[in-house]
Structure 1
Amino acid sequence: MVLDDVVTSHANGFIDLWLPRDRKYNVMITHEDKVVESQLSTFEGDNTCITTMQFL
């Protein structure tokens, strides 16, 4: 586990989270009764900015 904590987003809704390279992650973000989950990785050639997770 890399982070299991309360994080406050910036005013624009984004968060900064630096992850170790060459790993795969399962990401879950919760807010009140909403949950969003996604997988991401930090291998060479992977995106360095993820903007696809959103609450619906």
Structure 2
Amino acid sequence: MNGHWIGIFSPVSNNGTKIKFTEKVSVNNPIMNLFVGLYLKKQQLLYIADLKKELGE
């Protein structure tokens, strides 16, 4: 798998933040296409958790 993703942070009411992820990924094995969406979602959730931990939330 190779590619990249971008997270765009936007403020929302109640001092919150909305993140919009955009991915561009290619997979060499067609069977892996079935799982790449789940994998990216998991990585994004880990990223958000790590960010919250770093910010002390």
User: TM exceeds 0.5?
Assistant: no
Q: TM-score, normalised by structure 2?
A: 0.29
Larger Rg: 2
Please identify which structure carries the higher helix content. 2
